[in-house]
Amino acid sequence: MAAAPTHRRSLRKRRTLVVSAAVVAAGVGAGVVVLNANAGTVDLYHATLAAKDGWASSGAGTTGGTKADSAHTFTVSTRAQLVKALGSASDTTPRIIKIKGTIDANTDDAGKKLTCADYASGTGYALSSYLKAYDPSTYGRSKLPSGTQEKARAAAAAKQAKNIVFKVPANTSIVGVPGSGAGITGGMLQIQNVDNVIVRNLAFSATEDCFPQWDPTDGDDGNWNSNYDSVTLRGATHVWADHNTFTDAPHLDSANPKYYGREYQIHDGALDITKSSDLVTVERNVFSNHDKTTLIGSSDSEPAGKLRVSIHHNVYKGIIQRAPLSRVGQVHIYNNYYDVTPLNGYAVQYSINSRAKAQVVAENNYWKVPSSVKVAKLLSGDGTGSVKASGNLVNGTVTDLVAAYNAASSKDLKTTVNWTPTLTAGLESGSAVKNLPTSLGSSAGAGVLK
């Protein structure tokens, strides 16, 4: 018979737990190391999502590549090395990929810089020819482009996609090496139909589509639509995105030209969660200088029971919309800091959108709102989505955001939801919410973890 367990902890264990509690209380959250009473110190690359830290901790939790052996632990600094380290998207062998420095996705296997002209070469595509072929004054506005130039555009786009889309397999941790300026520029991490992935401490920038498609049927005046999110989840489960930074820089939307009277948009999402992805935690990231930031659910008809996402302790500055836009799922949004002051031409349309019967709980967030922005603009919806809101601050004052929106809208947000968040480790309230602009300023984004 096993000995009866003692209820006394060793001095070392008690000290470890005290330190862990102090780290959480200070708002540092998932930091440089994980202090565990039984296992000691865990390095950054083997860290796993803490218990009850959002939806991604549900079930078996999110451990990424922590079980990787030495043969599946890589340090990479170039696009070619990253592709080799990722291997096959169908290989479920645990792997840890350490990114050292900034990887430029628009390079060939030898490291030579590639441009949009390189991708277009040999396809017959030319923007001037495309614009002439599909000018609404002659082509019309009733159908999508088709024919020689559209086929050429698609061929050029396929060449770019083959180069800049990195397919992430299951059981993988991709972590930036501290102090190295780790990140990916011009590329997209595609986490599709796989389980158990961690993405941490990376700066994502300049994810750009060389070949946007013209859609004259999109809206009243048509739109240019681009592909490539910096990180995209499609049918993915158990994903933890932590301490990353996302930005359009250096090419901001204000530099985009207009064709057919519409912005030639080369950016898509920053971090999108679609195609019935599920059990995702997005925390302590910085999103700046971007339009369509985070899409949860790509269609109003996605089936219920998925798209369960927690978004907490993130910073949003210079974000136009989708922070996030939620469809269908159960989404917990808490302890985020939204600065909706216009920045570099990025002026807010809304922060949080709940539509297609989404069940959103938004609590204890902080909005910095200039006098030029109405509080009613912070939320949005289609009349079917819900936002249960509490404890949210606008310029330091508790504000009923749903009431403000509903008073100014013809499509009211519903105020009750069909679930109660329980995976809420690290949820802050009271004076800590007032301090979010300061605390997150030093604890969110890439480069914080050491």
Cite the active site residues.
322
The answer to whether 64 touches 48, Cβ cutoff 8 Å, is yes
Token pair of 84, please? 């080799």
The answer to whether 163 touches 190, Cβ cutoff 8 Å, is no
Q: On the CB side of 302, how many CA atoms lie within 13 Å of its CA?
A: 27
* Residue 436 CB-density burial (10 A; 0-12 exposed, 13-18 middle, 19+ buried): buried
DSSP 107: B
- Which of 327, 362, 365, 308 lies closest to 62, judged by CA? 308
The answer to whether 269 touches 293, Cβ cutoff 8 Å, is yes
Q: On the CB side of 14, how many CA atoms lie within 13 Å of its CA?
A: 5
* Residue 173 CB-density burial (10 A; 0-12 exposed, 13-18 middle, 19+ buried): buried
The answer to whether 48 touches 61, Cβ cutoff 8 Å, is yes
